[in-house]
Amino acid sequence: MDMSNASLHQRRADAMAQGQGALHPVYVDKARNAEIWDVEGNRFIDFGSGIAVNNTGHNHPKVQAAVQAQVERFSHTCLMVTPYESAVELAEKLNAIAPGDTPKKSIFVTTGAEAVENCVKIARSYTGRPGVIAFKGGFHGRTNMTMGLTGKVKPYKAGFGPFPGEIYHAPYPNAYHGVSIEESLAALDDLFTCDIEPSRVAAIIIEPVQGEGGFYPAPSEFLQALRAKCDEHGILLIADEIQTGFARTGRLFATEYSGVEPDLMTMAKGIAGGFPISAVVGKAEIMDQPGPGGLGGTYGGSPIGCAAALAVLDVIEEEQLCDRARQIGERMMGRLRDLQGRYPQRIGDIRNLGAMIAMELVVDGDVNQPDAELTKALVGEAQKHGLILLSCGIRGNVIRFLPALTITDDLVDEGMDILAKAFDALS
């Protein structure tokens, strides 16, 4: 049987729905740390890490060993039927590392979207209120509720409505695009005046760095003001840390930079080095509001996922990956500054929080002229030369860099060399 990339891509097109897209026509045979090899033997440097999932790299030996040991014992019994110690230990550890001093409790589900859904359920149960406020440009998942919360129409919401009611969106502060902290807070007050009274709002959900929206960090002053506004009105603050968590931004959680303690947090992606598990961690009093059976899922808290997540936490600590994320960010930003100096009319902005790094492409240096065509072409050109890149942004003009936090400096430099050559080829 022909096992080339082209033949597999055709088989995929014939067998799988197009809605579950594939950014790169590269079919993986094996992966190790920050490198991938396809079925034709081609090698790629991975600057995507499975969308911030493999923070500890592909097949980290410690994670791999923990999973193998768990599989030999059992793969599934259902946490809600016959539980196991690894889930209890993971909950204890997540409760301990979550920001803030308030006692915490956890639940486990399987996907990031499930974690967000459960945050909304818990918030509504605890407050007795229906409303939820999210932010324009935010991404929270592809289920019906999380699509409603997501602030980007194409491709996530187009054609899939109607969405649940009592969901409202406020502008996210974004200095590069001319949206100030004051304007965002004023728009929130306007929602309270014109759309829903604060006494009917259960929660405000925010990504401390917008992921799919374009890697825009929320200013600490804004998160602090949100915390104060939530406290004033009895609203719960939900931090969606799905893409920002587990050392990605140079802290275990990006919220730590602001000193804000969320009421509830979502965790997924980097939590388990590629194995499906997600969590909601929140203040114990709030988390205990739903009764037994109100939360959960058949695969929630998979024993394999728990074993992997415990190993990931060990690796983050032992290999000092928070420090490493900051080092990677500084190294890559230095290279991006050099590239921006060469192409100031095409690279409108570069930004990072730790190893969550972005380059925004524009036409003629104009922030109001996004260059989505160059962005798409750059992703394709880099792949031809052995570099996996991801794009994002509500206007499709942002390259996001998410290398494994275990990547070597040599691989960072090699990847950035490929990026520069790809840019040169398209300019």
195 and 298, same domain (yes or no): yes
pLDDT in tens, 355-395: 999 999 999 999 999 999 999 999 999 999 999 999 999 99
Confidence category of residue 94, pLDDT binned at 50, 70, 90: very high
Confidence category of residue 427, pLDDT binned at 50, 70, 90: confident
246 and 375, same domain (yes or no): no
202 and 301, same domain (yes or no): yes
227 and 337, same domain (yes or no): no
- CB–CB of 342/367 below 8 Å? no
Average pLDDT over residues 84-97: 98
Omega within 30 of 0 (cis) for the link into 162: yes
Helix (H) or strand (E) holding 422: helix 409-426
Confidence category of residue 49, pLDDT binned at 50, 70, 90: very high
For 161: left if phi > 0, alpha if psi spans -120 to 50, otherwise beta; the answer is beta
CATH of the domain at 374: 3.90.1150.10
pLDDT in tens, 164-215: 999 999 999 999 999 999 999 999 999 999 999 999 999 999 999 999 999 9
Q: How many domains does the chain have?
A: 2
| pLDDT for position 152 | 87
255 and 198, same domain (yes or no): yes
Q: Which residues of 340-376 are buried (b: 16+ CB within 10 A; e: fewer)?
A: beeeeebbbbbbbbbbbbbbbbbeeeeeeebbeebbe
Which of 270, 290, 318 terminates a domain? The answer is 318
Average pLDDT, the chain: 96
71 and 152, same domain (yes or no): yes
Name, in order, each residue with C-beta under 8 angstroms of 152's C-beta and a sequence gap of 6 or more. 137, 138, 139, 212, 213, 394
237 and 302, same domain (yes or no): yes
Query: Is 368 strand, coil or helix?
Result: strand
25 and 70, same domain (yes or no): no
In this predicted structure, the answer to whether residue 109 has a pLDDT above a threshold of 80 is yes
| pLDDT for position 329 | 98
| pLDDT for position 21 | 83
Measured over all CA atoms, what is the biggest interatomic distance in the chain, rounded to whole angstroms? Answer: 65
Q: How far is CA 329 from CA 91, 380, 398, in A?
A: 30, 23, 17
In this predicted structure, the answer to whether residue 79 has a pLDDT above a threshold of 90 is yes
182 and 41, same domain (yes or no): no
Confidence category of residue 340, pLDDT binned at 50, 70, 90: very high
252 and 165, same domain (yes or no): yes
314 and 194, same domain (yes or no): yes
CA 81, distance to chain mean position in Å, is: 30
Q: How far is CA 150 from CA 19, 83, 240, 241, in A?
A: 18, 33, 12, 14
Phi and psi for 371 in degrees, rounded to 5?
-110, 75
Strands, E, within 76-146: which ranges? 104-109, 131-135
pLDDT in tens, 2-17: 789 999 999 999 999 9
27 and 89, same domain (yes or no): no
pLDDT in tens, 204-249: 999 999 999 999 999 999 999 999 999 999 999 999 999 999 999 9
CATH of the domain at 252: 3.40.640.10
Which of 271, 287, 318 terminates a domain? The answer is 318
Which of 280, 296, 318 terminates a domain? The answer is 318
Domain range enclosing 374: 5-56+320-426
In this predicted structure, the answer to whether residue 1 has a pLDDT above a threshold of 80 is no
pLDDT in tens, 262-283: 999 999 999 999 999 999 999 9
| pLDDT for position 24 | 83
Predicted TM-score (pTM) of the model is: 0.96
